[in-house]
Structure 1
C-alpha cells in the first residue's frame, strides 16, 4: 500500500502562509500578553548573608568521607548500614519518587518532538435525507472507512516546551538529591541507633553491679542490726535500694529492646539485631571531623541541593506560565484514504492529504492566564523561602553539633577528674578495710560514688560519638553533586528573578 504524497509546491505555500500568520500574530502580542507586574518577590540567601566566608580558602575544608561510619572500626555497624541501604522501605520510596520524576522529564522532552499516529475508522451508517447529502446518498445506509496517518509538530517559538522540560529536569534533580539526602539520613540514624544500643548495654552493666553492691550493703546492714549497731531505719533504707536497682535494670532492658527494634526497622529485617553481639562503646573509634563552619557548607548537603533544584523548577514553571500568553503554533499534516464503501477504501481515488499551520492565540480568557502566573510566582516565592529555611537550618545544625562536641569534650575532662577522685577514695576505703581501720560498709558507700561516675562516663562517651555522627550528617555525610547537577557555586549564588 502506497500512501499519497503532497506536491512540493504545496509545501512552499504552507511555509509562506505560516510566516505571514506568525508575523501577523506577533503584532497582536503586545496587547494580548499583558503580564503586568506579576513576578516573584522573594530573594535567596547567599553564603555571605549566612555568616559563611565567600572565599572557601578562608576556612580549611575537611570533606567528610562518603562512608564516614567505617572510621568507627565496627564491622557490625558497617553491615547494618549496608543492609539498611539495600532494604529500607523509606529509601526505596525515595528511589521510586526519583524514577517518577525522571519519567516526567521524559514526558516533557517528548512534547518538543514531532508526533505521528495512525487511525482506522470503519463505520456502517444511515445518511440523513434532510441534511447536506443529496439523493441517492441521503437516506441510504452506507459503509464508510478512513485509513490515515496524522502528524503534528509544535514549533516552540516562545520556549513553552523548553521551560516545561527545564522545570521537569529541575524536579528530577531535586528528587535525586532528596534520595541522596535520605541515604545520608538513613546511615546516620542507623549509626545513632547502634550507639544508643551500646550506651544502654554499658549502662546495664553498671546497673547490674549497682544491684550487686546494694545486695551486699543489705547483708551488712542486717548483720549490723543483729549486732545492735544499726536500727531498723537503716535496714529499711537498704531494703528499698534493691527494688529500685531492679527497676533500673528492667527499664534498661526495655530500652535496649526498643533500640534493637528501631535498628531492625531501619535495616528492614525484623531479626537483624538478634544476630549481633551487643556493641561496646569503648571499642568504637572516634571520628576526626573539623570543628568550624565550612565556607562551602551549602554545596555539601544534598537537602540544600534539593531545595535549590526546587527553586530552579519553580523558576521554569513561572517561565512556562508566561509563555501561555503567547500563541501555540503547530504544523499539522495528514495522509491516507477515505471512501464510502469498504471495497473502494484502498483505491487511488480514495487518497487524501493535508498540511498546514494550526495557530491558537488566547485573546480573552477571563483572567485565567494571569491567575495561573500569579500562582506560579507564589510557588516560586514558597520554594525560595523553603530554600532559605533549609540553609538557615543547615547552618544552625552544624553550629549546634560543633558546640555540643566542644562542650562534651570539656565535660568529659571534668568527669574524668571526678571519676579519678572517686576511684581513689574507693581504693583508700578498701585499703583501710584491709588494714582493719574501717568497715566494709564504707567501701560499699565509696563504690556508690564510683558507680555514679561510671554511669556519667558512659553517657558522655555515647554523646560524644553521637555528636560525631550528627556532625558528619550536618556536614553533608560525604555527599557530592553528581555530573549535571547544581554546582557549589550555583548553590551559593542567589538567582535573580
Structure 2
C-alpha cells in the first residue's frame, strides 16, 4: 500500500525536534490512520473487481451423477428403467463485450472512490498532525502562564512582607495586610488550575501519539524560542483546491458521475461471447473415450424489456447521488474559503494586537514600579499597588495569550490550506472530468483564480 505522507511535513518549519518526533510517532501509530488505510485497501479491492469484469472469464467443472432413468421417459432401452453413472467435465468461458462502456464507467467510478479514500486518509493525517502541533503549543502556552502565575505569587509574597513591616511600624493598618494576604491563596489557586490544564494537555498529546499517559513528563519549549513558520506575502487561492477534503469531494463527484453512466447502460443490450469444451458420457468407463468430446460457442444477447420501473428508479437514485456529491463539494469549498479567510484575518489582527500590547505592557510595568516606590516611601496607599499589580498581571497574561494565538492561528492556516503554502495535489489529476446528471452537464466548480493576502511576517 502506498504511503500517503502529509504534504511537505509542514510542522518541521517550526524548528522543534521534539515536535517532529511527536508528530512522526502519531502518524505511525494512530488507529484512525490505520482505519483510513483499511478503507483505501477496500476501495482498491473494489477497483480490481471492476477491472476484472472487463476481461475474459474461465471456469472448470466436473460433475459425476448416479441416476435411475425413468422407464416412461424420453430415453429408449437399455437406459429406460436402468441405473447408470454419468459424468460431465467442462472448461467454460465467457467475455462480455463492453459495447456501451458499462464496465469502463464502473471501473472509473471505482477509481474515483479509491482516490477519494486516499484523500480522506490524507485529510486524517493532516488533522492529526495539526492537532498534535496545536496541543504542543497549547502546552507551551500553559507553561508560560504558569511561569507568570508563579512569578506573581513570589511578587505578592514580597509585597506581603513589606506590608507586614509597615503595619509593625504603624505606617499601615490591618486592612492593607489582610488585602495583601488574600492575594496569595488566589495566586496559588490559579497555579493549581494551570497545573491541572497542563496535565490534561499532556494526556491529550499522549492519546494523539498513541501512548496514553506517555507524555506526563513532556515539557514544551518557551514560546519565544519557537521558530515561527514564514508565511508568504500572497497565498494563491488555488491552494484551496489541494485541500484533502476538497480533493475527496471532487473525486466523489467523479465517481457519482460514472455511476450514472453505469445506470444508463443498464437500459442497453448486454452482449456476451460464451463457449465451452469438455467430456460427457453415460457410463464412466467411456468418459475418456474420443467420442465423449463436446464443445459449444456462440454469442448471448440480453435486453431488458419490462422491469416495473426498476432501472429508471436506479437512474434517478444515481442522479440524486451526483447532485448530493456536487453540493457536498460546493459546501466543502465554501467552508474552506471561510476557514482560510478567518485565519488570515485573525493573523493580521493578532500582529496589530501584539504591537499595542507591548506598549501597554511597558506602561503597566512603569506604573507598577512607581506605585511600589511611592508605597515604600509612604506617599501612596496599598490599593494603588494592587491596582497596578493587577494591570501588570493582565498584560503578562495577554502577552502569553497573543503569542500562543499567533502560533495556533498559523497552524490553523496551514491546515486550512491543506498542509502548507505549497502543498502538492492529491491524486493523479487536479480536477475530475465533466459528468452528466439529469441530461445536463454538471461539473464540480473550480476555485477562482484569485489571491489571498497573507499577514506580514514580523
TM-score of the superposed pair, with normalisation by structure 2: 0.87
Corresponding residue SS for 1:67: helix
Q: Structure 2, unaligned stretches of length 5 or more?
A: 1-5, 443-458
Deviation for aligned residue 1:290: 3.4
Deviation for aligned residue 1:236: 4.3
The answer to whether the 8 A contact 1:214-1:238 is kept is: yes
**Which of 256, 259, 274 does residue 332 from structure 1 map onto?**
274
Corresponding residue SS for 2:253: helix
- Residue in structure 2 matched with residue 193 of structure 1 by the alignment: 135
**Which of 22, 41, 44 does residue 80 from structure 1 map onto?**
22
- Residue in structure 2 matched with residue 245 of structure 1 by the alignment: 187
Deviation for aligned residue 1:144: 1.8
Deviation for aligned residue 1:344: 1.9
Check if 1:480 corresponds to 2:427: no
Residues 132 and 170 (structure 1 numbering): CA distance in 2 closer, same or farther, change over 3 Å? same
Moved more, 206-215 or 388-397: 206-215
- Residue in structure 1 matched with residue 449 of structure 2 by the alignment: none
- Residue in structure 2 matched with residue 296 of structure 1 by the alignment: 238
- Residue in structure 2 matched with residue 369 of structure 1 by the alignment: 311
- Residue in structure 2 matched with residue 138 of structure 1 by the alignment: 80
**Which of 338, 342, 345 does residue 400 from structure 1 map onto?**
342
- Tell me the alpha carbon deviations over residues 410-447 of structure 1, each in whole angstroms, 9 at most, x when there is no partner: 11111111001112223334555777866888667634
- Residue in structure 2 matched with residue 496 of structure 1 by the alignment: 441
User: Superposition pairs for residues 196-215 of structure 1, below 5 Å?
Assistant: 196-215=138-157
- Tell me the alpha carbon deviations over residues 42-100 of structure 1, each in whole angstroms, 9 at most, x when there is no partner: xxxxxxxxxxxxxxxxxxxxxx9712222211111111111111111112211221121
- Residue in structure 1 matched with residue 290 of structure 2 by the alignment: 348
- Paired residues, number: 431
Residues 127 and 246 (structure 1 numbering): CA distance in 2 closer, same or farther, change over 3 Å? farther
- Residue in structure 2 matched with residue 471 of structure 1 by the alignment: 413
Deviation for aligned residue 1:178: 1.4
The answer to whether the 8 A contact 2:339-2:416 is kept is: yes
Deviation for aligned residue 1:341: 2.3
- Give distance in 1, aligned partners of 2:53 and 2:314: 21
- Give distance in 2, aligned partners of 1:131 and 1:223: 125
Q: Structure 1, unaligned stretches of length 5 or more?
A: 1-63
Deviation for aligned residue 1:342: 2.3
Moved more, 229-238 or 370-379: 229-238
- Residue in structure 2 matched with residue 106 of structure 1 by the alignment: 48
Moved more, 123-132 or 378-387: 123-132
Check if 1:150 corresponds to 2:95: no
- Tell me the alpha carbon deviations over residues 234-279 of structure 1, each in whole angstroms, 9 at most, x when there is no partner: 4444444333222222221121111111111211122542464332
- Residue in structure 2 matched with residue 323 of structure 1 by the alignment: 265
- Residue in structure 2 matched with residue 178 of structure 1 by the alignment: 120
**Which of 16, 28, 32 does residue 90 from structure 1 map onto?**
32
- Give distance in 1, aligned partners of 2:101 and 2:45: 21
Corresponding residue SS for 1:78: helix
Check if 1:120 corresponds to 2:65: no
Residues 433 and 65 (structure 1 numbering): CA distance in 2 closer, same or farther, change over 3 Å? farther
Corresponding residue SS for 1:326: coil
- Give distance in 2, aligned partners of 1:268 and 1:439: 55
Check if 1:411 corresponds to 2:345: no
- Give distance in 2, aligned partners of 1:489 and 1:171: 12
- Residue in structure 2 matched with residue 3 of structure 1 by the alignment: none
TM-score of the superposed pair, with normalisation by structure 1: 0.80
The answer to whether the 8 A contact 1:286-1:465 is kept is: yes
Deviation for aligned residue 1:377: 0.0
